[in-house]
Amino acid sequence: MMDLSKERVCVTGGAGFLGRCVCQKLRERGVPEQNLFIPRRSRYDLTREGDVARLYEDARPSVVIHLAAEVGGIGANRMHPGRFFFANMAMGLHLIEHSRRQGLKKFVHTGTVCAYPKFAPVPFKEEDLWNGYPEETNAPYGVAKKALFVMLDGYRREYGLSSAVVVPVNLYGPHDNFDLDTSHVIPALIRKCEEARVRGEGRITCWGTGSASREFLYVEDAAAGIVRAAERVDVPEPINLGTGSEITIRRLVELIAGLCGFTGRIEWDATKPDGQPRRCLDTSRAKKLLDWSAETSFEDGLRRTIDWWREHGVSQSTLVRGNV
């Protein structure tokens, strides 16, 4: 097992929603601050090869944990399919190639549940990743991230590059993106319900029919799984990270509304897409290879997220049209 406390670790996206939790887990593992490098976008545009090369020269990492991504909810994916494909493909492409050139000890890649086929058998098993095309609204993002699985496999076989690949389900928690135009479903719903409650409004409108199901993983649990993969895995065999349980969007809205204290009417705009019909992961491989399983109950995680938004977001927010 790799002792991360003795490595120089670069965490792309380390200042973001998931990255801040991963960096905290690394500190808890004994990685000293001077050996933890968090590139900022203002200095390193990871879609540009020159910036990636300069990052490796400046940071001199022995391990890279790649979390940086351009991503959003259904609406953002529909608006920016080209950008999402290019940005995610380019970042991974350059980072992996230069990790090979620099003789990196390990590259950890964070994939996405959006890589799974639209009609994959539920629960999703890693061996089904290539048995169909992803749900259309998420496909450019999902395919770009999944193509990097193949790149890492090729680089292992040709160049001996050690790597790990994790596939987290939808994440949520404090510090998430609560912008209704670009956020994922949980932060958008929390913001809608909270703002409607504070303003005394009698209804909220959500995208789709509410019939689709999703699985959600608390961000700190995901971070623990990613660090375990960095320590324990040397081959890019995809490993699902999730809870193994799903909830319909309709039930999710009702649950969040109840936790927020919103008692108004919930309306559904069926002209908007539901996205992938179902999402739920088989997490047995994570248990076997990482000795990892999620620890945070869904309602506890939602309460922590709502409390964070109430403290940090409600006072300065305005209600705009969202994509849930």
Distance, CA of 189 to CA of 256 (rounded, Å): 7
Q: How confident is the model at residue 322, as a pLDDT? A: 33
**Residue 196 domain-assigned (yes or no):** no
**Residue 36 domain-assigned (yes or no):** yes
pTM for this structure?
Answer: 0.92
Q: What tens digit of pLDDT does each residue of 242-279 get?
A: 999 999 999 999 999 999 999 999 999 999 888 888 89
**Cis peptide upstream of residue 61 (ω within 30 degrees of 0):** no
Mean pLDDT of 26-53: 97
What's 112's domain CATH number? 3.40.50.720
**Residue 296 domain-assigned (yes or no):** no
Query: How much of the chain exceeds pLDDT 90, in percent?
Result: 89
**Residue 278 domain-assigned (yes or no):** no
The three state secondary structure string of 139-207 is HHHHHHHHHHHHHHHHHHHHHCCCEEEEEECEEECCCCCCCCCCCCHHHHHHHHHHHHHHHCCCEEEEE
Confidence of residue 69 (pLDDT cuts 50, 70, 90): very high
Q: Indicate which residues carry an active-site annotation.
A: 141
Distance, CA of 144 to CA of 321 (rounded, Å): 28
Confidence of residue 314 (pLDDT cuts 50, 70, 90): low
Kindly state the DSSP code that residue 125 receives in the 8-state scheme: -
Mean pLDDT of 78-95: 96
Burial of 49 (0-12, 13-18, 19+ CB in 10 A): middle
**Residue 138 domain-assigned (yes or no):** yes
Confidence of residue 321 (pLDDT cuts 50, 70, 90): very low
Q: What tens digit of pLDDT does each residue of 206-245 get?
A: 989 999 999 999 999 999 999 999 999 999 999 999 999 9
Report how many domains make up the chain.
1
**Residue 318 domain-assigned (yes or no):** no
| Beta-strand relationship, 247-248 and 213-214 | antiparallel
Mean pLDDT of 270-296: 94
Contact 283, 117 (CB under 8 A): no
Q: How confident is the model at residue 184, as a pLDDT? A: 86
Q: What tens digit of pLDDT does each residue of 126-155 get?
A: 999 999 999 998 999 999 999 999 999 999
Q: How confident is the model at residue 30, as a pLDDT? A: 98
Distance, CA of 289 to CA of 236 (rounded, Å): 12
What SS3 class is residue 288? helix
Q: How confident is the model at residue 273, as a pLDDT? A: 85
Q: How confident is the model at residue 181, as a pLDDT? A: 79
**Residue 292 domain-assigned (yes or no):** no
Q: What is the mean pLDDT of the chain?
A: 94
Q: How confident is the model at residue 313, as a pLDDT? A: 80
Distances (CA, A) of 244 to 176, 198, 298: 22, 34, 12
**Residue 125 domain-assigned (yes or no):** yes
Query: Looking at the predicted structure, is the pLDDT value of residue 317 above 70?
Result: no
CA atoms within 13 Å, Cβ hemisphere of 45? 6
Confidence of residue 180 (pLDDT cuts 50, 70, 90): confident
Q: How confident is the model at residue 75, as a pLDDT? A: 81
Domain span at 114: 4-172+216-241
